[in-house]
Structure 1
Amino acid sequence: MKFVLFGAGLLGKSYYSLLKDKYNIAYFADNHPEKHGTTFSELTIISPEQISKMNVSVIITSSYHLEIAEQLYAMGIKEFYIPSKYGTAELTRIDLSKYGFIQEIPNKICVVGHHNAGAVSKALVYSNPYDDINVVLLKDSEKNQEYYYHYLSSSLIITQYSEQCGNKKSIELWHGFTIKALYFMSQEKNERSLASSKHDIFKKKTAVCSMSHLYSVFMSSCLHLDFNKFNITGYPRNDMIFKSDGKKMLEQLIGPVKQRKILFYVPTYRESLYTKNGDSAAFINDMLGYDETIFNDFLDENDILFLYKQHAVQLNRKMFKDSKNIIEITDDMLHTSDVDLYEILNSVDVLISDYSSIIIDFLLTDKPIILTPLDLDQYSKTRGLMLEPYDAWMPGEIVLDYNQLQQAIIESLYGEDKFKKDRERLKRITHKYADGNSSERVLALARNLLELDGQESKVLED
């Protein structure tokens, strides 16, 4: 059997190197006409229209897999393959012929979710107060025939990673308040190279959700978008901060918690498949004076559990050795336990981070934050920040070596809350809503876009 890889980009190139020794790959296909007839990774790039004339099977190797699946279905191609998991040469066969003719259901909404790390908005499904819309959550980690069927049969798609949705109505949530510069505002070459394509994707979205006026200003600048495209609804994932039993969900994830206090370290990424920002040695375990034995003893003496979570796109690098006081939260753990990261967030006593958007979300807990921008100067030059100067915006102790970190932890847990007013001020600027009802506002927006507002609708009781 011959295969064609649909998607002649960085992801396609990476998948080709994984798959070429196991499968007979004859071509790449791509939607960009200027690529047709050219060579990419030793293979000729053909147009999508040529696929149906050839005796080949399609493997989708693009982040735009949803739109491509819709495109293939419209071409009469109801069977295709997707890589089962990045890093392996395994494929998953998708056969949509079993569903007969698939057409859009007028009141059906799909939420496209990714890893269970704050991007999968379970709240949109579980907090739906309307009985006239059907909301289905698609998990990116569970791509199968049903996944693509639900996408094709939905009339509106809610995305969080700027997935292309063809001509369907769509709402973009995005996945965080941007402390670091993005796209047109970024200093990073690869990030800027994505700016025009991201602009085009966001421009096609029917609506883009926002957390606040400032959020809309920042994102419209980063993407060169019309400010009026943004709708201030708040983030559904933050509803979990208000409504989840965080301690119970954490114990569901890692087992009984015996320590009195919980720290959570969530740094942003430095190295990914696409970009490299700042200093790759800029994490807590790289701090001047850090010693793992001393750190473990410190946690033990003060009855502290130290949790940490690496960014989903961070190239794998083990930071700490797991112990009774140090536990890594991984995407696989979250997926296996069906726990979202934000369902445990209100159990945390102190957050430690650098430039991650979780800092802004954590403001809703009104708990202390410790900042570790170890590579601030370099990060500002290589990536850039939206919130500058950093120390004027950030509502927490800034620590740059291990002794400072240890002192800041004790102060944050047991000392005077010196940054309470600063957190409250930044929360007012970055969150229009702090009520745990963002999911309902997003779904109300969806109903409006589906033109269901003119119909009678019963809001279900909690």
Structure 2
Amino acid sequence: MEVLVNSMLFFFKLMLQFIMSLLPRDKRLWIFGAWHGRKFADNSKYLYLFARKHYPSVRAVWIARNPVVVDEVRRIGGEAYLAHSLKGMLLMLRAGCVITCFGSRDISPRSFFFAGAKHIQLWHGTPLKRLTGNLIFTKHWDPLGVGSLLKRSRKRYHLVISPCQIVSKIFAQVFRVRRTRVVITGYPRNDALLKPKWLPPSQVQILERIRKVVSYKHLILYMPTWREKGDRNISFLFEDFGFEKSTIDSALRTSDAVLLVKTHAFSTHRTSGWRISERVFFASDTEVWDVYSFLPEVSLLITDYSSIYFDFLLLDRPIIFAPFDLNDYVKTRPLYWNYHTMTPGPKAHNWREVAELIPRVLARDEYRAARRKINQLFNRYADGKSCYRVLSAVIKTLGLRGSLR
């Protein structure tokens, strides 16, 4: 009985999606979303801001599932609606272009609303970790196997952007699109690193709070990636690898620096508050949606397997790599390349080594040549014009006319 019910639901969804795909679409109505509708950030955010400023002939609308996101977009003068609101659903039914950095769930879990629209995939970073194509159908929801056939034959994305040739090949395989649909443009969010004039000024509250309690010359950002196993809690990275407040604070005082710990959107961390110690501070993803709003202020990045380091290379500043659990991590999430070959910076295997490296790295940058080599390999563009190239590619994909400002 359960198999029969699931089969009927599945075919109903297919029929609904087919009907929705026949609705007339407005090619000049674009809807944007990011991170499963939870925040205003990433490549979608920066392309949205650029499109509103430089291509006013289209109507750019942000769709979210978080009311705080809607309020934030409206606060800066943008147009935004909740996905489950009547207005949001009507816009999804009419939109001719959908722009995301994860997938359709950035807009709504009910992707049949925009089945006939052109879907632009901006993605959210250069992959060091191996990617897997999102499985749309499972045996539970597709007991007859029809979805597997449809998944192989259907066109997923009309345009995918990429930062370089190597990543383009990966994206073509992962997203199952022809190589001609993957265009090397650079990531829109990286334009923010050069602080362009079209970008509205942003206030990072966590940095303002830090400055009120301690002065510093160097801001150090620690951004570990998320773990797929267990409850996704990253507290073990501190508890199991020798994090001692006094030792880290001493190294930070020596360098006139503070350390900001920023967790991944899918991670959690046990902490008693925003101030971990005298010079170590914590920010969850709900407090800081978008690190690119202050990444140009960061003097030193500490990370493990996060793709942010590929972007940080554009600033040509030092990076400490802290792959504390490398052997265990690659068992559940293999990497595309040899970790030590592709990470241009000193390696720390515990917090004691991190404390030793911080003053040394800030005083003497020994990896500049290695960083520039990897940067040239993974970032074709460093001119702050990625938004322009992406927007031009979207306009071409939609067959629109009109020049950019």
Question: TM (normalized to structure 1)?
Answer: 0.67
Worse overlay, 219-228 or 106-115: 219-228
**Count of aligned pairs between the two proteins:** 354
1:329 to 260, 283, 300: 283
* Structure 1 residue 373: Cα displacement: 0.8
Which residue is 1:136 aligned to?
A: 61
1:447 to 387, 395, 398: 395
* Structure 1 residue 141: Cα displacement: 2.2
User: Which AA in structure 2 matches 1:447?
Assistant: I
| Distance (whole Å) between structure 1 residues aligned to residue 261 and residue 93 of structure 2 | 37
| Distance (whole Å) between structure 1 residues aligned to residue 234 and residue 41 of structure 2 | 24
| Cα distance change of structure 1 residues 279 and 103 upon mapping to structure 2, 3 Å threshold | closer
- Alignment check: 8 A CA contact 2:159 2:394 kept: no
SS of 1:161's equivalent in the other structure is coil
| Distance (whole Å) between structure 1 residues aligned to residue 149 and residue 162 of structure 2 | 20
Could you list the per-position Cα deviations for residues 364-417 of structure 1 after superposition, in whole angstroms to 9, with x for gaps in the alignment? Answer: 111111101112122222210012x211111111110223211211122122x1
2:243 to 290, 294, 298: 290
* Sequence identity (%): 26
Could you list the per-position Cα deviations for residues 122-175 of structure 1 after superposition, in whole angstroms to 9, with x for gaps in the alignment? Answer: 221222222322222223423342433332221111111121552211111111
| Distance (whole Å) between structure 2 residues aligned to residue 276 and residue 223 of structure 1 | 27
1:125 aligns with 2:34: no
| Cα distance change of structure 1 residues 48 and 385 upon mapping to structure 2, 3 Å threshold | closer
- The residue correspondences of 1:164-243 to structure 2 (distance < 5 A) are 164=111, 165-183=114-132, 203-223=155-175, 225-243=177-195
Structure 1 alignment gaps of length 5 or more: 1-33, 39-44, 51-66, 76-101, 185-195
2:262 to 296, 309, 313: 309
RMSD in angstroms over aligned alpha carbons?
3.5
User: Which AA in structure 2 matches 1:357?
Assistant: S
2:27 to 78, 103, 106: 106
| Distance (whole Å) between structure 2 residues aligned to residue 244 and residue 35 of structure 1 | 55
- Alignment check: 8 A CA contact 1:208 1:229 kept: yes
| Distance (whole Å) between structure 2 residues aligned to residue 322 and residue 386 of structure 1 | 35
Could you list the per-position Cα deviations for residues 316-353 of structure 1 after superposition, in whole angstroms to 9, with x for gaps in the alignment? Answer: 22257532522222232235xxxx32111111000110
| Cα distance change of structure 1 residues 47 and 234 upon mapping to structure 2, 3 Å threshold | same
| Distance (whole Å) between structure 2 residues aligned to residue 300 and residue 320 of structure 1 | 22
User: Which AA in structure 1 matches 2:178?
Assistant: D
Which residue is 1:37 aligned to?
A: 5
Which residue is 2:140 aligned to?
A: none
Which residue is 1:259 aligned to?
A: 216
Which residue is 1:397 aligned to?
A: 346
* Structure 1 residue 298: Cα displacement: 3.5
* Structure 1 residue 202: Cα displacement: 8.8
Could you list the per-position Cα deviations for residues 3-38 of structure 1 after superposition, in whole angstroms to 9, with x for gaps in the alignment? Answer: xxxxxxxxxxxxxxxxxxxxxxxxxxxxxxx95425
| Distance (whole Å) between structure 1 residues aligned to residue 149 and residue 311 of structure 2 | 27
| Distance (whole Å) between structure 2 residues aligned to residue 72 and residue 224 of structure 1 | 21
User: Which AA in structure 1 matches 2:9?
Assistant: S
| Distance (whole Å) between structure 2 residues aligned to residue 285 and residue 364 of structure 1 | 32
| Distance (whole Å) between structure 1 residues aligned to residue 96 and residue 312 of structure 2 | 33
Name the structure where helix makes up a greater proportion of residues. Answer: 2
Which residue is 1:373 aligned to?
A: 323
Could you list the per-position Cα deviations for residues 83-137 of structure 1 after superposition, in whole angstroms to 9, with x for gaps in the alignment? Answer: xxxxxxxxxxxxxxxxxxx963231111212344853632212222223222222
Q: RCO higher in 1 or 2 (8 Å CA, sep ≥ 6)?
A: 2
| Distance (whole Å) between structure 1 residues aligned to residue 327 and residue 231 of structure 2 | 11
| Cα distance change of structure 1 residues 383 and 200 upon mapping to structure 2, 3 Å threshold | same
SS of 1:352's equivalent in the other structure is strand
SS of 2:225's equivalent in the other structure is coil
| Distance (whole Å) between structure 1 residues aligned to residue 350 and residue 40 of structure 2 | 28
Structure 2 alignment gaps of length 5 or more: 68-81, 105-110, 134-147
| Distance (whole Å) between structure 2 residues aligned to residue 285 and residue 430 of structure 1 | 34
| Distance (whole Å) between structure 1 residues aligned to residue 89 and residue 397 of structure 2 | 22
- Alignment check: 8 A CA contact 1:350 1:368 kept: yes
| Cα distance change of structure 1 residues 325 and 152 upon mapping to structure 2, 3 Å threshold | farther
| Cα distance change of structure 1 residues 238 and 354 upon mapping to structure 2, 3 Å threshold | same
User: Which AA in structure 1 matches 2:97?
Assistant: L
| Cα distance change of structure 1 residues 120 and 177 upon mapping to structure 2, 3 Å threshold | closer
Which residue is 2:333 aligned to?
A: 383
1:270 aligns with 2:215: no
